[in-house]
Chains A and B, each alone.
Chain A
Amino acid sequence: MSSTHKLPISRPAIGVVGKTGYWRLKRPEVNYVKCIKCGICWLYCPDSSINILGDPSKYVEVDYNYCKGCGICSNVCPVKAITMTEE
């Protein structure tokens, strides 16, 4: 579906300050053994820095180029499969 209208929608894009990963103090690390592939971390990430790969052994992947280390993914994970570790 496409439209010539001026719509109030936006799509994920690279921000004007470039790669913001270096802002991070703690990095989220996913334990793929614990991960139940629910996608809640992907849904909550405020910077669209978690991608769903769909691979059974690696369902999601954190994009460390942009992840600012806010820790929301770790907080919302229902099985505590994401831990925040010091950089």
Chain B
Amino acid sequence: MVIKVLTGNYTVAEAVRLSNVDLITAYPITPQTTIVERLSELVEGGLIKARLVRVESEFSALAAAYGAASCGARAFTATSSHGLLFMHEMLWWVAGSRVPMVLAVVTRALGPPWNIWNEHTDFMGQRDCGWLMAFAENNQEILDTIIQLYRITEDEAVYLPGILGLDGFLLSHASEPVDIPDEDVLKDFIKPRSQPYNMCSDDVLTMGNLPMAEEAMMMRYDIHKSIEAAKNVINEVDEEYRKLTGRSYGGLAECYRCNDSKYLIIAMGGWVGTMKDVCDELRDEGYDVGVLKIRFFRPFPHEDLVRAISGVKGILVFDRSASLGSLGHIHAEVLARAYMLSNKVIVKGVITGLGGVDVGPKEVREIFMRFVKDVDEDGQIDNISEWVLGGG
């Protein structure tokens, strides 16, 4: 074990080194660039025995990684924002082909107007592709989740690719101490590459031929079932990882001080750390509040959510993305499940932090106190989905 001070992006590269990746495709985009820069150094220095392929676009970055992965290589690539949008079609090909691999998405706003700062809209735009979708709260979790994702995606119950999201700049360029496990510790945890079929073997086959309508629907249903089946795998892998390293993250979601809480804050990503701090302060002041961290957005932790919200009076969901004309992405998920469980709980969504708008402890506290006042004094909320704009 060694503790290094690393940026989020350099942590991604360390995780790729520890995961015995065979092939990396590299195309730069802010704020992802230092991931592939660092990987390039590690490959050149012989610290990763992988091939690094420089490609001409993000579309090609995923296409080349997909080709290698379908031929038995453990593959990795990373991107952000418009690069991820350019990859979007390839994401469907990888998932639909059931080819496991891992993609790091350093979240960033989409233009126009041109903007390099953080929000989760690019990540959420990949919601329905059939990829597992995890998100990290801090640099340590980046390292641990990428290592876990290779195990989860290559599990025969799953056989799907996975995304790790990390907040642009807030994590990608922020340095934190990261505990790097020894390769010995992980030697049984990191398994040989596993995938459902190999395009480059003697087993002659075609991928993607025209199916009958019923077969096509059956294949889509199988992806859905496999994402559901990934829930168990995620929990088991997280537990196995805890036994080796002492660290676990609650599998799909982390419940922070949310037992017997009257109020629950739900969010995903780096700002959950801020919310935990505010939660501690509020607890000291006598508020019964907890935080439910969404660690996996796909599969969505419905069971964890149902457990966490039972007996809760008010739920406040923070989204760093919005489905324009509708709700925040996490808010919509929470509302659907909360409604199925109970019609008494109030679920308010707050959309904020878009385009890089800073959300610190002060803002979280203000939004929370306003929510508590509405629920306690009025027993209702005026605006179920509120946009909290910055600069006020």
Contact = CB atoms under 8 A, between A and B. Distances in A.
Contacts of B207: 8-9
A64 B202 CA distance: 23
Nearest to A2: B196
Contacts, number: 47
- Chain A interface size range: 10 to 19
Interface stretch (B5-13, B218-226, B352-360): B218-226
A34 interface: no
Interface string A1-37: 1110111111110000000000000000000000000
Nearest to B207: A9
Nearest to A4: B156
Nearest to A12: B204
A3 B208 CA distance: 17
Contacts of A6: 215, 218-219, 221-222
A2 B159 CA distance: 11
Contacts of A8: 96-98, 207-209, 211, 219
A7 B203 CA distance: 15
Interface residues of B, number: 24
B187 to A, nearest CB: 23
Contacts of B98: 3, 5, 7-8
A63 B83 CA distance: 47
B198 A5 contact: no
B47 to A, nearest CB: 30
A10 B209 contact: yes
A66 B384 CA distance: 66
B210 to A, nearest CB: 9
B197 interface: yes
Contacts of A5: 98, 159, 196, 222, 226
B204 A11 contact: yes
**Most chain B CB neighbours (cut-off 10 Å) among A2, A3, A5:** A5
Contacts of B198: 1
Contact of A9 (B156, B159, B206, B222): B206
A12 B209 CA distance: 11
Contacts of B156: 3
**Most chain B CB neighbours (cut-off 10 Å) among A2, A3, A9, A11:** A9
Nearest to B208: A8
B195 interface: yes
A8 B152 CA distance: 21
B205 interface: yes
Interface string B258-272: 000000000000000
A47 to B, nearest CB: 12
B238 to A, nearest CB: 23
A8 B207 CA distance: 6
B197 A9 contact: yes
Given A5-B159, A6-B222, A11 B205 contact: yes
Interface string B218-246: 11011000100000000000000000000
A11 B204 CA distance: 6
Interface of A: 1-3, 5-12, 48
28 contacts: A1-B194, A2-B196, A3-B159, A3-B196, A5-B196, A6-B215, A6-B218, A6-B219, A6-B221, A6-B222, A7-B98, A7-B196, A7-B197, A8-B97, A8-B98, A8-B209, A8-B211, A8-B219, A9-B197, A9-B207, A9-B209, A10-B205, A10-B209, A11-B203, A11-B204, A11-B205, A11-B206, A12-B204
Given A2-B196, A11-B205, 5 more contacts: A3-B98, A5-B98, A6-B222, A7-B98, A48-B204
8 nearest CB pairs, A to B: A3-B196, A6-B222, A10-B209, A9-B205, A6-B219, A6-B218, A10-B206, A11-B205
